[in-house]
A and B are shown apart, each in its own frame.
Chain A
Amino acid sequence: MKRNVLIGSGFIALIAALAIGQTVVEKRAEAQAKNTVQAPRFEVDPMWPKPLPNHWLYGNVIGVGVDSRDHIFIIHRGEGNLNPKEIYHTANPPAADCCDVAPPVLEFDAEGNLVKAWGGPAKNGEKYDWPGSNHGITPDSKGNLWIGGNGPDDGHILVFTRDGKFVKQFGFPYASAGSNDMWAFNKVAKISLDEQANEAYVADGYGNHRVAVIDMDSGKIKRYWGAYANKPDDTNLGRYNPQAPPAQQFRNPVHCAVPSNDGLVYVCDRPNDRIQVFSKDGKFQKEVFVEKNTLGDGAVWDIAFSKDPQQTYFYLADGANEKIHIFDRKSMTELTSFGDGGRYPGAFYAVHSIATDSKGNIYTTETYEGKRLQKFVYKGLGPVTKKDQGVVWPTKTSTH
């Protein structure tokens, strides 16, 4: 009996100790949460997408978008920038059974299955000008895809159904009347959509130095502006110098112009290493520099917003420093980054384009010799422990 009591009291003491311990742990966690910055966390899915059929390879993958069904569309440059040693099967006669060039537009489902592949010059009496070098792909809610181009003569935008049927063309090739032209564009990098206003924001681009806003039905240019809302000017600015006062114009390429839910437009001024923010009517709001000493291609390649209604964060693809910067959108401060150079899963060689799906997952594409589409799975918010996370591999080492 006595023994039982002893055991019983010991048990109660243990429970009490555990309870106290638990409270302490919770308090500590709360305190930590208050003192630490939270940011979205991601892990690469190393086996996504599934292998392509037909020994297909991508060239430079220079556009990615996700539609309302969470299907992922990419556009790539194809044969022109694949090495002949990679695509022996295209030789005449074929010099090996591997590899061939995939059609320029590919659609994947969320599991990474290839759904459809299409694209290329007009045939069967269709009347459109396939870009000399297609660039950027953006799905709209009607199931159409908006495609730009930065080939030498590309002055236009194309719209196709997601099955590859031609819908319409705005602008025309062989046009380069400059950044104040009202009829055509000059090497469009990417089109982003504000469907409520029936407007498309054109990053214009590799030739022009402006953001152009067009009516989604007519393609008519409604307004446009340059850096700091200046009238755009095509004077050659020379090379970017991080020590010089900020350039009063965008440099080529203007690589993205993405409207947010709260009425702002985020512009990737790529070689100037900066994001400029405008109201939708083109009033300059603010700018932030990213890796300001970056030369060459510049640091600000593409932007995607987090999927919460507030779009609390944005993700910035930096193909020169080979990482994704995670920013708090309101304060425009960088919270953390992930990625590093390389050819392994989660590493990048010239990460060029970025998009998110409805679950908050990130998709990236790489140009140059990266030539991949990768998926980064959203793992919820977590405390920021490192400024540069490096390659974010799954915590479980074997996934398959």
Chain B
Amino acid sequence: MNLLNLLNLLNLLNLLNLLNLPVVYSVPMRRIFLLSALVSGAVTVGFAQTAALKVEPLWPKPFPVAKHWILGSVTGVTVDAQDHIWVVHRGVDSLQNNEKGPTLEPWASQCCFSAPQILEFDPAGTLVASWDVGANKGYDWPHDPSGIAVDKAGNVYVGGGLAPSALPAGRGRGPAPEGAAAAAPARGARGGDAPAAGRGDAAAAQGRGRGAAPAPPPPPATAVLKFDKTGKFVSAISGVERPLAVAVDDAANELYVGDDGHGRIAVFDTATGAQKREWKANGDAFKTIACVKVGKDGMVYVCDRGNNRIQVFSKDGKFQKEAKVAADTKGDGSVWDLAWSPDRKTLYVADGHNKKVWTLDAASLQTTGSIGQGGRYPGEFYGVSAVAVDSKGNLYTGETYEGKRVQKFVKR
């Protein structure tokens, strides 16, 4: 950290104090500063709040209790032209056995089923639509859908990391038949209420539930799926491998795909699915293309997650500039998704590793602050993987891993 950064930091702190903003945690503040400064040169602004955004803890509305729906790991959130919020999540395969009792064989408990994997909410958090996508529907629904985009006509595009899983048909995918519990003498999944295990066990427990032999991973997904606004399958846009990220340029009728397996951005005609152009990273190859976004400035922004950087290109693929975010981040990397404020002044960057949403000056791409911290309460994050902003400036986030939530932060 150089002296200039330190001065900026102190200035920002003074500014925050002047504005009487909630700078929480007086005791650990010094440590937070030191660490943040070391990692990124930025300031942690405290819990769940900035000058402009406040978490809405009661959003979205609970699903109907009789459904016993819960979200799996959330891997895509976007806002459409009507300010409706679209969510894609990994569904039942991302739930642990001890939270999907009714899907087990034998039936083990009332709760819970996976909610349908594509969900549409209105700004008040009311569920507007839920699509029963999945296996055996005439398309290769990916094992781990990743990324979601909606075009002006309401068509929905979904990427994916891996192809459909090789799980036996029916396993964990639907309600138990009537009387299944009565017919079943065997005990269901023994939960993890066993005594504290070692670190390695805890990591293993993050997977598909305990005890099951690990299945070989499915092959990579090779297409982006397109649905119409009613949820009817339209087409598979293929020629890609692990298409983790999708974006639409409505003016040009073009689909941008973060084609992670090929380390490139690929651009397709949304109507025909024909590839129009492609390009690779500037400098070091992309290391997990976690997002691709088309800005109103006419530029294409790429989340190069593992390299902790944003790379900016013109729509024809000419490199413009790049910026690091939390540059020293190891592990999963820092740049998972991004979205702009309506006034285009602020760029929000979801950082599932550091468990916060960074705010950047949209023009300079310099980090100015952050929202949130690690945890399971409203306004906190575990694996924040997606970020989107509506026309009023409200912010929406999605969490993967065991976060498994969509949260709303209201613009004040």
Task: List chain A positions with a Cβ less than 8 A from chain B.
Answer: 46-47, 51-55, 57, 59-60, 62, 77-86, 88, 94-99, 132-133, 150-152, 154, 187, 206, 239-244, 253, 271, 291, 293-297, 299, 320-323, 340-347, 349-350, 352, 367-372, 388-391, 393-394, 397-400
Main secondary structure, interface of A, reads loop
Take A242-B182, A295-B188 as given contacts and tell me if A85 and B197 are in contact as well, using a CB distance cutoff of 8 Å.
no
Mask: chain B, 314-345; 1 = CB below 8 Å from A; 0 = not: 00000000000000011110000000000000
Contact: B187 with A296, CB < 8 Å? Answer: yes
A322's partner among B112, B332, B403 (CB-CB below 8 A) is B112
The B320-372 residues at the A interface (CB cut-off 8 A) are 329-332, 353-356
From B24, B68, B108, A295 is in contact (CB under 8 Å) with: B108
Which of A59, A323, A368, A371 makes the CB contact (< 8 A) with B99? A368
Q: Are B192 and A82 in contact (CB under 8 A)?
A: no
With A55-B373, A98-B355 in contact, do A79 and B199 touch (Cβ < 8 Å)?
yes
A84/B193 contact (C-beta < 8 A), A53-B27, A341-B112, A343-B376 known:
no
B110 near A343: Cβ-Cβ < 8 Å: no
Q: Which one, B32-40, B126-134, B221-229, B284-292, is touching chain A?
A: B32-40
A72 and B359 CA atoms in complex are apart in Å by: 36
Contact B62 A347, beta carbon cutoff 8 Å = yes
Are B202 and A81 neighbours in the complex by a CB distance under 8 Å?
Answer: yes
Are B375 and A81 in touch, CB under 8 angstroms? Answer: no
Chain A residues with Cβ below 8 Å from B109 are: 291, 294-296, 299, 320-322
Instruction: Tell yes or no: B274 within 8 A of A by CB.
Output: no
Which residues of the partner chain A approach B181 to less than 8 Å between Cβ atoms? 242, 293, 295
Could you list 4 further interchain pairs (A-B, Cβ under 8 angstroms) beyond the known A295-B101, A297-B191, A367-B193?
Answer: A77-B196, A291-B109, A340-B68, A368-B193
Q: Which of B6-14, B135-143, B249-257, B378-386 contacts A (4 or more CB under 8 A)?
A: B378-386
Instruction: Give Cα A295–Cα B24 distance, bound, in whole angstroms.
Output: 44
A46–B198 contact, CB under 8 A? no
* A321 x B111 contact (CB < 8 A): yes
Residues from chain B with a CB closer than 8 A to the CB of A347 are 62, 70
Q: What's the least CB distance linking A291 to chain B, in Å?
A: 7
Looking at the assembled complex, report how far the CB atom of A304 sits from the nearest CB atom of chain B, in whole angstroms: 19
Residue pair B112, A393 in contact (C-beta under 8 Å)? no
Supposing A296-B189, A350-B98, A369-B402 touch, asked if A97 and B70 sit within 8 A by C-beta, the answer is no
Are the CB atoms of A239 and B111 closer together than 8 Å? no
The reply on B405 being an interface residue by CB < 8 A is yes
Bound-state CA distance A152–B112 (Å) is 30
* Closest-CB distance, A294 to chain B (whole angstroms): 5
Known A80-B197, A98-B355, A320-B108; contact A345-B58, beta-carbon cutoff 8 A: yes
Residues of chain B at interface, number, CB under 8 A: 82
| CB nearest to A243 among chain B residues | B182
Query: In the complex, how many angstroms separate the beta carbon of B247 from the nearest chain A beta carbon?
Result: 27
The reply to whether B374 and A55 form a contact with Cβ atoms under 8 Å apart is yes
Q: Which of B24, B203, B356, B378 contacts A47 (CB 8 A)?
A: B378
Find chain B residues with CB under 8 A from A84 CB: 199, 202-203
Q: Is B107 an interface residue (CB 8 A)?
A: yes
Task: Select one of B57, B112, B184, B382 contacting A46, CB under 8 A.
Answer: B57
* Known pairs A46-B57, A340-B65; A295 contacts B106 (CB<8 A): yes
**A343-B404 in contact (CB<8A):** yes
If A297-B98, A343-B405, A388-B65 touch, does A51 touch B47 (CB 8 Å cutoff)?
yes
B283 within 8 A of A: no
Contacts of A83 in B (CB 8 A): 202-203, 205-206, 401-402
Q: Which residues of B145-203 are within 8 A (CB) of A?
A: 181-182, 184-193, 195-199, 201-203
Closest to A321 in B: B110
Residues of A within 8 A of B71 (CB): 342-343
Asked if B307 is an interface residue, CB under 8 A from chain A, the answer is: no
Chain A residues positioned under 8 Å from B27 (CB to CB): 53-54
A250 to chain B, nearest CB (A): 16
Please determine whether B376 and A371 come into contact, CB atoms closer than 8 angstroms. Answer: yes
Point out the residues of chain A lying under 8 angstroms from B62, CB to CB: 340, 342, 344, 346-347, 390-391, 393
In the complex, number of A-B residue pairs with CB atoms less than 8 Å apart: 235
Whether the Cβ atoms of B202 and A295 lie closer than 8 Å is no
Minimal Cβ-Cβ distance residue in A for B67? A340
A96 to B195, CA, bound (A): 28
B75 CB–A CB distance under 8 Å: no
Give every chain B residue within 8 A of A340 (Cβ-Cβ): 62-63, 65, 68, 111-112
Q: Considering the complex of A and B, which 6 residue pairs feature the smallest CB-CB distances, nearest first?
A: A390-B65, A80-B196, A341-B112, A133-B195, A46-B57, A293-B181
Contacting residue for B193 out of A86, A151, A154, A350, CB 8 A: A350
Asked whether, in the complex, the Cβ of A349 is within 8 Å of the Cβ of B36, the reply is: no
Quote the shortest CB–CB distance from B350 to chain A (angstroms).
14
B28 within 8 A of A: yes
Q: Are A368 and B192 in contact (CB under 8 A)?
A: yes
The distance in angstroms between the C-alpha atoms of A344 and B191, with both chains bound, is: 21
Q: Cβ of A98: which chain B residues have Cβ within 8 Å of it?
A: 354-356, 373-374
Measured in the bound complex, the distance between the Cα atoms of B262 and A80 in whole Å is 38
Contact A85 B111 (CB under 8 A): no
Given contacts A83-B402, A296-B98, are A57 and B375 in contact (CB under 8 A)? yes
**B residues within 8 A CB of A242?**
181-182
Complex Cα gap A190–B64 (Å): 34
Most buried by A among B25, B32, B191, B196: B196
A-B CB contact pairs (8 Å), 12 listed: A96-B39, A97-B31, A98-B355, A98-B374, A295-B109, A297-B190, A321-B101, A322-B109, A323-B111, A345-B57, A368-B98, A368-B191
The one of A77, A321, A393 in contact with B58, judged by C-beta atoms closer than 8 angstroms, is A393
* B377 surroundings in chain A (CB, below 8 A): 47, 51, 372
Contact of A54 with B57 at beta-carbon distance under 8 Å, contacts A295-B184, A369-B99 already known:
no
Contact A85 B332 (CB under 8 A): yes
Cβ of B3 within 8 Å of any chain A Cβ, yes or no, is no
Q: Check if B96 is an interface residue, CB within 8 A of chain A.
A: yes
Pairwise interchain contact B191-A350, C-beta atoms closer than 8 A: yes
Point out which of A187, A342, A350, A367 has the most chain B C-beta atoms below 10 A from its C-beta: A342
Query: In the bound complex, how far is the Cα of B184 from the Cα of A295, in angstroms?
Result: 9
Residue from A241, A242, A297 with most neighbouring chain B CB atoms (10 Å): A297
Measured CB to CB, the closest approach of chain A to B102, in angstroms, equals 10
Instruction: Please determine whether B182 and A296 come into contact, CB atoms closer than 8 angstroms.
Output: no
The distance in angstroms between the C-alpha atoms of A72 and B376, with both chains bound, is 19
- B205 and A81 within 8 A (CB): yes
Residues of A with C-beta under 8 A to B66: 388
Query: With a CB–CB cut-off of 8 A, which chain A residues contact B70?
Result: 341-343, 347
Interface centre among A51, A340, A341, A350, by most chain B C-beta atoms within 10 angstroms, is: A341
CB atoms of A85 and B401 under 8 A apart = yes
Determine if A99 and B187 form an interchain contact, defined as CB atoms under 8 angstroms apart.
Answer: no
Tell me, in angstroms, the Cα distance from A60 to B205 when the chains sit together.
13
Bound Cα distance from A370 to B111, whole angstroms: 14
